[in-house]
Structure 1
């Protein structure tokens, strides 16, 4: 199937054996500010008057047509267009035979904004991780050093309290590392979903039971589970992670009654396929309208302090890895209303 160069997300410029431009796509026009009609038929150095960061003219330095016969191009690097506009440029030299003359020069262009956003995101992630690790590790170091140096001075109850604190802080570190691994897998598209037959109703009741055992009153929860749910094939551990995060947020940051509804639905991607929808809502202050679009992004914490702000980003990645969709809106009685819909899936591992 032929590909229209104008459909490509990156700029594409191709010059023929004589050095004249024969292809100049829409993305290249957008990045350079030059019209395709003006570029076609013009010499490559005139169409792309690139300079390196030291101000040297790039095509004179690389000389694709008269340079080394073993050269096949150059990898992506930062170069400058007139006006100091920075672009990422890579080039490939096409030869009919090894060491033969260059028949085409294929140049790809990318803007630097996406890379800069990624770099800022990585820097923020590193800063967040460093901050979140510092507190529990300082606590672990302090308590263990104190116990080792003054073991005989403490009563058994004091030792137990310090060791419980160390255990809790070690748990925080473990959870943070697990979050980072999840993010790495989500971002790289390597998050594995191990589908099994999942009793979603039982999973919901188990999570509610855990909160009741932790001291929440029975009146805090309302559970509404339909009787005619379709069989659901999903990854139990990952769906537990989703349910745990949504319920924890509703209990900790919401107010009033937390309502959990489980209902049959249509698949968000294929209306003809059965699905299961789970809704978690509370009666708290809710999420400001202007923040709704950022809830599932990295580091979103709203007005809350503490935590990494990575939980809902991971929840969204897990739901989407199952082929599902998650949304957030204002609950009818105030508060936040999260709803995720999972297609029933299939036991592919049994095929």
Structure 2
């Protein structure tokens, strides 16, 4: 079956993000879009009407001519195309190429040859991101696993030599390090779901004010002075349907960052959102501190993977996950500078509906 005309959707070949090269039944190029021109460094006027194998003198990574290997016009008539693979243009430039063979009948002669071209930059960026993630995970896992292995091996070998207090201290350390590993695995699962669009939201009514109070009380119970926190909660707030566990995760991360990396008073404000085109009705939560703040040149990278505001621990994945959770709810999150000069994070969630999203 021949490809539908892009004009059906009000598009032209030049609107496509990938390179598109179409050759007729004689192998002459009849379509050469703007992306193909950019990838191959040729003008469409140079390509149209010429034999496709001359317009695209492709070679595989071993230097063999791709057109001779695939032979779309003279090969088996049952073939329907070529899967995407890495090929070389003149000069050794890499490009991802796939082909589709359009035939008027299942075993008929080739009517159209459709070649798709993609640059390798996006793939290389993805590969670098994966490599960075693997390196970060390996680094973050090494320390707690070494601790767990060391203490458990010591206890197994010399159990009778330690007092009960010493055993308790070592087991508490093992438990804390196991918790670090569990949190890291949870972060990796969240990233996988965010990147693949499979983050599940189990929506129900959420009391944001109560959630804020709960997180503040937890920090006070952990030893932070109660006077370090100041909460301002407007009333009434619009009803909010959201995933309470995910909202707890967002609040927990932002407050933890403010406590760990900020200074002075940590202020949490909850108020009805100012209506915007993106969020016509909802709730806005602002978390700010009085620390040194985030350098202006780093503002644009705060919500990217592996960004760290300081060298004091952390995987650099938390704010990336926070942004993914807020956006999965249809909300927005921003970062800026507080009135006191510290960091200021603000996220807005729409009222939402009781539906379950995936």
Q: Kindly indicate whether residue 262 of structure 2 is the aligned counterpart of residue 254 of structure 1.
A: yes
Query: CA 1:142/1:222 → structure 2, altered by over 3 Å: closer, same or farther?
Result: same
Counterpart position of 1:298 = 305
Kindly indicate whether the alpha-carbon contact (under 8 Å) linking 1:267 and 1:343 is maintained by their aligned counterparts in 2: no
Alignment partners' CA distance in 2, 1:24 and 1:276: 49
Counterpart position of 1:51 = 59
Counterpart position of 2:145 = 137
Counterpart position of 2:231 = 223
Kindly indicate whether the alpha-carbon contact (under 8 Å) linking 1:266 and 1:343 is maintained by their aligned counterparts in 2: no
Count of aligned pairs between the two proteins: 349
- Report 1:1-351 matches (<5 A): 1-2=8-9, 3-266=11-274, 269-270=277-278, 273-349=280-356
Alignment partners' CA distance in 1, 2:356 and 2:252: 26
**1:71-96 deviation line (CA, Å, top 9, x unaligned):** 22111111111122111001111111
TM-aligned CA deviation for residue 269 of structure 1: 4.8
Alignment partners' CA distance in 2, 1:293 and 1:164: 39
TM-score, normalization: structure 2? Answer: 0.95
Kindly indicate whether the alpha-carbon contact (under 8 Å) linking 1:267 and 1:341 is maintained by their aligned counterparts in 2: no
Alignment partners' CA distance in 2, 1:152 and 1:83: 70
Alignment partners' CA distance in 2, 1:61 and 1:169: 55
Structure 1, unaligned stretches of length 5 or more? none
TM-aligned CA deviation for residue 42 of structure 1: 1.6
Structure 2, unaligned stretches of length 5 or more? 1-7
Residue 188 of structure 2 aligns to a residue whose secondary structure is helix
Alignment partners' CA distance in 2, 1:289 and 1:120: 26
Residue 348 of structure 1 aligns to a residue whose secondary structure is coil
Kindly indicate whether the alpha-carbon contact (under 8 Å) linking 1:87 and 1:110 is maintained by their aligned counterparts in 2: yes
TM-aligned CA deviation for residue 58 of structure 1: 1.4
TM-aligned CA deviation for residue 314 of structure 1: 0.4
TM-score, normalization: structure 1? Answer: 0.97
**1:113-162 deviation line (CA, Å, top 9, x unaligned):** 11111111101111111111111111111111111111111111111111
Query: Which deviates more from structure 2 when the two are superposed, residues 319-328 or residues 41-50?
Result: 41-50
